[in-house]
């Protein structure tokens, strides 16, 4: 499935972030296997352990869910940026890494990123560049 942001460019990291946030909301950790991800917390419709209210999963409302999703999108993008910067060392991978860095820097400078993260994208780019120096 292709996700597009407000500026209408494809964002493949959103799909990964959404799946990660959904797994974490179900109570499975970010690296949980398929068996663990399918497990449901204990509780039933009769009211055991907050079933049906989200309390069994530690979920307090839609705002928390969106904040978790936004954080996951930003963390995935930062991770991809770091990977691409590391790939610059290899001549065979340099062209693809430069393209990926350009795509991610465009995302970091976008209004969508500012809305998700609430931080200055330029400052983040500079900080990530200093990490590799």
Q: What's the residue count for the chain?
A: 133
**Residue 73 CB partners (closer than 8 Å, separation 6+):** 11, 13, 14, 17, 116
pLDDT per residue over 28-77, tens digit each?
A: 655 544 554 445 444 444 444 444 444 445 556 677 788 888 889 999 99
Q: How is the chain split into domains, by residue range?
A: 1-28+64-133
Confidence band of 6 (pLDDT split at 50, 70, 90): low
Q: Is the pTM higher than 0.85?
A: no
Identify the H or E element spanning 30: none
* CA 3/CA 12 separation, integer angstroms: 7
pLDDT per residue over 70-102, tens digit each?
A: 889 999 999 999 999 999 999 999 999 999 999
pLDDT of residue 27: 72
């Amino acid at each position: 499935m292709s996700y597009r942001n407000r500026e209408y460019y494809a964002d493949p990291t959103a799909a990964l972030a959404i799946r990660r946030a959904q797994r974490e909301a179900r109570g499975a950790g970010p690296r949980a296997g398929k068996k663990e991800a399918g497990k449901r917390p204990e509780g039933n419709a009769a009211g055991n352990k907050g079933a049906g209210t989200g309390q069994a999963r530690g979920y307090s409302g839609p705002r928390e869910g969106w904040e978790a999703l936004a954080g996951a999108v930003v963390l995935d993008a930062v991770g991809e940026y770091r990977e691409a910067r590391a790939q610059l060392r290899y001549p065979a991978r340099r062209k693809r890494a430069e393209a990926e860095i350009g795509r991610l820097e465009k995302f970091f400078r976008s209004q969508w990123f500012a809305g998700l993260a609430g931080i200055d994208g330029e400052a983040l780019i500079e900080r990530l560049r200093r990490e590799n120096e």
